[in-house]
Amino acid sequence: GSHTGQLAIYELRAGRCQSLAAHTGPVTACAFSPDGRYLVSYATSDNRLSFWQSTAGMFGLGAAQTRCVKCYSTAPMADVARLNPARLARLVWTNSRSVTLMLADGSETRFNV
């Protein structure tokens, strides 16, 4: 994730990069699911958590396309400006379809794809 809200997904085998307009401000945290099928991103700037899924072209040909499959609004975090941006949030996958958002204020919320 970037400070502009973009996600950059690199296809190592193909040597390509796909850029996604994911959030309106800096991406706070992102993580791939254990099976690699999903990417989750979170930003305190827009209080949104998004699940992304990548699909290959027809019959595995062509460039992979990544799309947002689910979005959740999250509660705003208090005193974000005082906290270290690198420690604001953590995303932990509990299985291949569920993730827990752990915030610096001690709150934890579970989300499902």
* Domain limits for position 105: 28-112
Total Cβ atoms within 10 A of residue 91: 19
Rounded to an integer, the average pLDDT of 22-38 is: 91
Does any domain span residue 4? no
What confidence tens digit (pLDDT) does each residue in 92-104 have? Answer: 999 999 999 999 8
Q: Is the pLDDT of residue 110 over 90?
A: yes
Does any domain span residue 85? yes
Q: Name the pTM for this structure.
A: 0.82
How many domains would you assign to the chain? 1
Backbone angles phi, psi at 94, to 5 degrees: -95, -20
Does any domain span residue 102? yes
Contact by Cβ (8 Å): 41, 50: yes
Does any domain span residue 16? no
Does any domain span residue 64? yes
Which token pair is 78? 């208090």
What confidence tens digit (pLDDT) does each residue in 38-83 have? Answer: 999 999 889 999 999 987 654 455 556 789 999 999 988 776 656 6
pLDDT at 83: 63
